[in-house]
A and B are shown apart, each in its own frame.
Chain A
């Protein structure tokens, strides 16, 4: 059904290779680290109310999202929870790219007052109070520091930007630089454990991938993995609808930032325009002392990332793998269903006006109802949730840190 040119194009989207290496995280491939990270991911002890874990907003049964329009941890959040499927393939993290590694991304929610609502000192103490976790940590990183002296290591504390009187900042300021570094080291290792687990959340054996394999070996069973409707949908995806301009390559994302003209709520979320500024001054960015590769590569990456290029309201292009199981959509969860997303791009009904300083990427692609159905069929063919069941929940005690 596909033309030779379309077949060649399809091969640009599959297979998805292994996730890229992360030299800033020395334990990114360490299975013990991943197992401990998995335990931490589902553990609610690291939140201020003892009820929130990473899985609260990234629930495996909900496509490692939360199914909500806007996220809710210990409080409400103004952005939609991104799925964690294939998160390790990202170049930048969060909707606004304010982080440049998966481990550094994992630290943000822990201290966000709306998510875990905790602080790095509380995180470190919670770890220290769990002997089974300390044992597992020690196996990965070596000795766990003694943080029992409360005069040196307050119960709670962290840097709080532009709030010098915040209790967390006041407590943090009482600490010596060496003790702050000790806490930061454990805290960043916490993120590296979480990253080692999240790296395993890979989806790359969807019906579309099977179909592309079938194109190579002319296997009729594999070719049957993609329905005629989905095949037509692919030709629209990479043709008339031009979705592939942004959702490109095997990740189905260009990994960069755009305004898609979906109307937003009150106020202006600056998106990448602010995210890139935050990234450059982040004490845990890839150029920091906590990057295990010495920072050389990331320093370079940060140097050449421009500050002023982005207009307000640009957000990261999400991957489309597993898109059918990660509703709702967009950075504020503005669109409830995949059908509505396709309808939006087809008509631009309700779209925000284009920014005259912005890109000229978004135009109404004017798909017929049948074409919209075909495109949805193709998007649904990108679903692969065949992750082993043992990665979808906290590890069994015999297998994890409590062993």
Chain B
């Protein structure tokens, strides 16, 4: 796996880029599935958060993998996402995660499920990055103002 850039996440993948834009996701249409049984989140200090900046003023998006030391290739994993306004959690109407491999022209082969842990705090299960290459994890944040898409780009 290539190291493309340095992130706060102390693992071997690189967080290339975080973009925010109000465009529709190109990946397959996901269905809403019943939330998974939510397992306890890890202790707050055990895993550091990655920062992702939204175009929405003052909005900050944080994410981290919670069941692996690093983002695994071709092995399902779970992650947490926090959405803040300033330093305070902010509520959304909904959060979805889509995936896309721009060089391959395909997305996820399974649809992750999202469950709400707290205000602005989400758990995403069943994330599977089944191939090596560049992945875009597209967090879709829905609130009263519409859709905000935050793209986390990973190189596996």
Q: Report which A residues bind B (CB closer than 8 A).
A: 244-246, 248-249, 254-257, 300-301, 303-306, 308-309, 358-361
Contacts and interface: CB of A to CB of B under 8 A. Distances in A.
Nearest to B34: A303
Nearest to B29: A308
Interface stretch (B40-48, B56-64, B88-96, B105-113): B105-113
Nearest to A5: B2
Interface string B21-34: 00000001111011
Contacts of A245: 104, 131-133
Nearest to A296: B37
A256 B109 contact: yes
Contact of B104 (A257, A309, A359): A359
A308 B74 contact: no
Contact of B28 (A256, A308, A359): A308
Contacts of A359: 104-106
A305 B110 contact: yes
B113 A360 contact: no
A306 B30 contact: yes
A403 B150 CA distance: 65
Contacts of B125: 300, 304
B103 interface: yes
Given A254-B130, A306-B28, A359-B105, A249 B111 contact: no
B131 A300 contact: no
Nearest to A272: B109
A306 B128 CA distance: 13
B134 to A, nearest CB: 12
Q: What is the interface of chain B mostly: helix, strand, loop, or mixed?
A: loop
B55 to A, nearest CB: 28
B68 interface: no
Contact of B73 (A248, A256, A304, A305): A248
Nearest to A310: B109
Contacts of A257: 109
A244 B33 contact: no
Contacts of A248: 73-74, 131-132
A99 to B, nearest CB: 16
Given A300-B36, A306-B30, A309-B28, A256 B130 contact: yes
Contacts of A255: 74, 130
Of residues B31, B33, B130, B133, which shows the largest number of chain A Cβ atoms within 10 Å of its Cβ? B130
The 4 closest A-B pairs by CB, nearest first: A360-B105, A304-B126, A304-B110, A309-B28
B130 A360 contact: no
A248 B130 CA distance: 9
A246 B131 contact: yes
A309 B31 CA distance: 11
User: By CB atoms of chain B within 10 A, which of A244, A255, A256, A257 has the most?
Assistant: A256
Given A300-B126, A304-B112, A244 B132 contact: yes
Contacts of B73: 248-249
17 contacts: A245-B132, A248-B74, A248-B131, A254-B74, A256-B109, A256-B130, A256-B131, A257-B109, A303-B33, A304-B33, A304-B111, A304-B126, A306-B111, A309-B108, A309-B109, A358-B106, A360-B104
B107 A309 contact: yes
Nearest to A357: B105
Nearest to B33: A303
Contacts of B34: 303
A306 B132 contact: no
Interface string B2-31: 000000000000000000000000001111
A97 to B, nearest CB: 10
A358 B131 CA distance: 16
A257 B130 CA distance: 10
A254 B104 CA distance: 14
Nearest to B107: A309
Contacts of B131: 245-246, 248, 254, 256
A115 B107 CA distance: 35
A253 to B, nearest CB: 9
Q: Residue among A245, A248, A255, A306 with the most chain B CB within 10 A?
A: A306
Contacts of A361: 104-105
Contacts of B36: 300
A308 B107 CA distance: 12
A361 B102 CA distance: 11
A257 B108 CA distance: 12
A111 B126 CA distance: 33
A3 to B, nearest CB: 14
A305 B30 CA distance: 10
Given A304-B112, A359-B106, A361-B104, A249 B74 contact: yes
